[in-house]
């Protein structure tokens, strides 16, 4: 079963949207395999967003991710990476379609509430960055035959 790393960034926590956003993933049928709230260090934020180093928005992005608490989670399910990206919507909240998390709750490009891994390979790297192996919990959902 595919796994993906999701971050509810400091704006989502400050705006008390954690429950609302988690509900969408749960309703879709994804299983929560790990969940915690953390104050990301600068080192962690830099590793997480290493691909964006050198871009004009990089420093501001690191400041944003280290500005408050972040909820980190691992979601698991069929096509979890693509399913989560679709539920999130495109990066710019102003352009993200209605019905998506960013489309419904974000207006900003930077403060767009949520991160989701963009490939299964990056998901594995990001999960290892944010979680220790023993922080992931395995269980068989009782409705697995219905949800697939």
Q: Give the footprint of ligand IDP on this chain (CB under 6 A).
A: 52, 57, 61, 91, 109-110, 112, 115, 118
Burial of 77 (0-12, 13-18, 19+ CB in 10 A): buried
Instruction: Examine the residue annotation and report whether 115 is marked as an active-site residue of this protein.
Output: yes
Q: What strands lie across the sheet with 31-39, from one edge to the other?
A: 31-39, 69-77, 2-8, 114-116
Closer to ligand IDP by Cβ: residue 52 or 144: 52
Exactly one of 31, 48, 102, 115 is catalytic; name it: 115
Closer to ligand IDP by Cβ: residue 55 or 141: 55
Shortest distance (Å) from residue 77 CB to ligand IDP? 19
Shortest distance (Å) from residue 132 CB to ligand IDP? 24
Closer to ligand IDP by Cβ: residue 43 or 132: 43
Shortest distance (Å) from residue 88 CB to ligand IDP? 7
Shortest distance (Å) from residue 90 CB to ligand IDP? 7
Active site residues: 115
């Amino acid at each position: 079963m595919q796994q993906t790393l999701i971050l509810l960034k400091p704006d989502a926590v400050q705006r008390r949207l954690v429950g609302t956003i988690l509900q969408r993933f749960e309703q879709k049928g994804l299983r929560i395999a790990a969940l915690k709230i953390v104050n990301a260090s600068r080192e962690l934020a830099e590793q997480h967003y290493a691909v964006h180093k050198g871009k004009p928005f990089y420093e501001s992005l690191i400041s944003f991710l280290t500005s408050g608490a972040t909820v980190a989670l691992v979601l698991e399910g069929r096509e979890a990476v693509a399913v989560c990206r679709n539920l999130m919507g495109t990066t710019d909240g102003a352009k993200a379609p209605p019905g998506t998390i960013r489309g419904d709750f974000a207006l900003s490009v930077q403060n767009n509430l949520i991160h989701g891994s963009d490939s299964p390979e990056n998901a594995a790297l990001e999960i290892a960055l944010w979680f220790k192996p023993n922080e992931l919990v395995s269980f068989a959902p009782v409705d697995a035959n219905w949800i697939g």
